Amino acid sequence: MIVVTGGAGFIGSNLLAGLEAHGARELVCVDWFGSGDKWKNVAKRALADVLPPEDLPAFLAARKGRIETVFHMGANSATTETDVDSIVRTNIRATLDLWDWCAANGAAFVYASSAATYGDGTLGFDDDPSPEALAKLRPLNPYGWSKHLVDRRFAAAARDPKTPRPRQHVGLKFFNVYGPNEAHKGPMRSVVHQVHPVAARGEAFPLFRSHRPDVPDGGQTRDFVWVGDVVDVMLWLRDHPKVSGLFNLGSGKGRSFLDLATAVYAALGKNAAIAWRDTPEAIRDKYQYFTEAKMDRLRAAGYARSFTPLEEGVRKYVLDHLVKDDPYV
């Protein structure tokens, strides 16, 4: 039995689809659905069970010895969240409890960390798990802090032979993931999803101007990674249970927002049209101008597959999903 928390969310639902295609059975989706269309993210899956997060402790307690892996993708991922107590409950306490349960019951544990742990990026994007390297990082918001705290806690546990730990334990620092099943995320969905309807109407999409003289408008850079590549890494980890650690998960290549928007228009056979707007002052001093995952540690662990180039991933997303009547995986 495999448990995926946040299983109806963006990455979680794509992971469930990948696991099913990979031959996994007895898949359990843990999530809240609300009253919208989020259920459609998992409507095609043959799930063994579906339950809300508050029921997970009792569910696990009743199934000791049956759980192979817990993929913990569930989190409050809003970088603008100001309710820190909620962040602590959802992102810290729940994650620490799942680590302890997996350690006590022989299950593998793979959890979602984030590139938000790197803060403004001035210290680089090296997934060095040493105490000295982690202690230097300064996340810019409660979400990034919550992920960083967990990373530090688990990295310390992994170094201490006296501390119980899951038989496989992996933290993945996701960079800017894009792909199907993200419509429910609203303003937190990828820029590809935001650009598409505007480009389809033949209108100009607004991108932030640069407020730095060394960066052109639209030249702000992110490491955009296709969700299918993210799923492939997690499936590979399941097939390689001796691999544990803290790893970046991006494409390894930073690209500009202008490149991304241009790729969406190109996928629709259109020339890019951009309307520039100022970065809001409320976030201007915290706005990252560059991210790029250093992927050496994952490669050294044995992951050899290539990552999907931006234009190919965007074209696949637009033509195979966004323009379809049924855009879900």
SS3 track for 210-228: CCCCCCCCCCCEECEEEHH
Distance of CA 84 to the CA centre of its chain: 20
Catalytic residue among 40, 185, 253, 316: 185
The single residue listed with the structure tokens 């706005």 is 287
Residues 6+ apart with CB under 8 A from 1: 26, 27, 28, 48, 63, 66, 67, 68
Which DSSP letter does residue 39 get?
G
Distance CA 244, CA 169 (A): 5
Residues 6+ apart with CB under 8 A from 223: 115, 125, 175, 176, 250, 251, 252, 253, 254, 255, 291, 292, 293
Report the 10 Å Cβ neighbour count for 83. 12
SS3 track for 82-108: CCHHHHHHHHHHHHHHHHHHHHHHCCE
Cβ distance 45 to 208 under 8 Å?
no
3-class SS of residue 177: strand
Catalytic residue among 111, 143, 265, 317: 143
Instruction: Assess whether 143 carries a catalytic annotation.
Output: yes
Please state the φ and ψ torsions of residue 279, each to the nearest 5 degrees.
-65, 130
Instruction: Assess whether 294 carries a catalytic annotation.
Output: no
Helix axes 227-239, 310-317, angle to 10 degrees: 100
Strand order in the sheet with 2-5: 49-51, 27-30, 2-5, 69-72, 108-114, 169-174, 245-249
Task: Name the strand (E) or helix (H) holding 309.
Answer: none
Catalytic residues, by residue number, are 143, 185
